[in-house]
Structure formats: structure tokens, C-alpha cells
A = this chain, B = another copy of it.
Amino acid sequence: MTLSAREIKDIRALGQKKFRQERGLFTVEGTKLVEEALQSDFEVTAVYRSQEIGEAAMQRITQQTSPTPALAVVKMKQQDATLPSSGLVLALDSLRNPGNVGTIIRLAEWFGIDTVLLSPDCVELYNPKTVQATMGSIFRVRCIYTPLTEALESMRASGMPVYGTFLDGESIYDAQLPKDAVIVMGSEADGITPPIARLCNGRISIPSFAAGGRGPESLNVAIAAAITCSEFRRTR
């Protein structure tokens, strides 16, 4: 199988958000992720394997720094946007780092969280770095871009408490955590944005054990999300 210059150009273009959005397509790379795409309910429009198209062609279409043995072109999926009224839900407030967002989607699945809400200014889900960091969870976790104030107000109205991590919150190890809740994660630099912070009726904090109070100011947001999800699950 030989790829035409046009095909190579079309696949490479999916490295850019503009073309991904225009075409409604994105790429995933690596044997495992390509298999997970094929097994998912996402539509895979093409699969390229280095044994078929050759290493040189793979090198030209990859978004990775080192070539991978397989690449799939996948159609974006319009997710059902119904807000859950039970269980745990993660809400990501203005997270810009693609690796962090992907890692959070992966750990959400680990902790049995099937819906992740993203504020519209979060990094694009189909950024290759986000997709790769999900390690396939992108195909199984429902990720919904939605204005968070409206979504959180509506979920609160339906009885879901909204939890956020704050520097001055109650220790997550002492707090009585509910079974059903929305957990908001804000960016490391700015924290949860003020309009969203006002909607949090649970204010929790991950205590630092650094000696002499001279430790790091914060945890990486994916790390903080993991510890928070772990505590919500553990206490049930």
C-alpha cells in the first residue's frame, strides 16, 4: 500500500486543531490505542500500519516524536449531553495542558467516573497529546464541553453537591465525602475560577506533609484529581 502525497498531507493536517474541527476527525497512535479505537463505538475511518505502508510513510504521518507502528483516523463523536444526577462526575475548569486533561480522563475511568465535563476554554480533547495521555479512556469516558456555571447550577438543583479543592478547604482525609458529587478541578496557576468557586458547597483540601512549610505551593492538577477521586471512592 502506498500513500499518495495528498493522503499524507490530509493526515498530517489533523495535527492542527483548525483542520480537526473542520473535518471532524482526529488521529490516535500506537498499536494498543488503535485496537481500542476499533473496539469502541467511535467510527474509525482509516488505519495505517507501518508493516503495510512502510516506516518512512509512518514517519511522515505521525504526530509523535518517534514513529509508531499504527495510526488510526477516527471520527469525533457527538456525545449525549444529558447531565448525570448521581454518581461521581469530574468538572474541569479552564485546564489548558493537554497531558493533564488526558491523564485525568484516564484516571476518571479507573475510578468509575463515566462523565467528565470540560469548560469551553479547556484544551481541545482531540489534541494528539490529550488523546495519547488518555491511553484509550477517551473512547469510553463521556467528555462534554459545556459552560460550567449552568451545568453546576443545574446539577446542584437536582441534588448533586459540588466539591472543589481549595488551599483553605477542609482536609480531604477528615471530610465526610458523599457518594454522589461533582468534583471541580481548577488550574494549578489560577485555581478554580471565581464564578465556579461560588457554586462549590464542599470546600476540600489535600494537606501537605512537607517539613517546615517550605514545600511546593501546589500539586500538579492531575495528581490532585487522582488523590481526590481516590478519597471519594475509598470512603464508600
Contact = CB atoms under 8 A, between A and B. Distances in A.
Contacts of A222: 220, 222-223
Contacts of A206: 110, 230
Contacts of A114: 211
A87 to B, nearest CB: 10
Interface string A85-127: 0000000000000010001001101111010000000000000
Interface stretch (A19-27, A54-62, A75-83, A132-140): A132-140
Nearest to A39: B214
Contacts of A3: none
Contacts of A216: 106, 109-110, 135-137
Copies of this chain present in the complex amount to: 2
A215 B109 CA distance: 6
Contact of A111 (B110, B111, B209): B209
A33 B173 CA distance: 30
Given A99-B99, A216-B137, A233-B209, A223 B112 contact: no
A20 to B, nearest CB: 19
A173 B210 CA distance: 23
Nearest to A32: B217
A227 interface: yes
Contact of A106 (B111, B140, B220): B220
A199 interface: no
B140 A208 contact: no
Contact of A112 (B103, B133, B209): B209
A55 B15 CA distance: 28
A234 interface: yes
A175 interface: no
B210 A109 contact: yes
Contacts of A99: 99
A47 interface: no
Task: List the 4 closest A-B pairs by CB distance, nearest first.
Answer: A112-B209, A223-B226, A227-B230, A173-B234
5 contacts: A110-B216, A111-B210, A112-B210, A140-B215, A222-B222
Given A107-B220, A219-B226, 4 more contacts: A107-B223, A206-B230, A223-B226, A227-B230
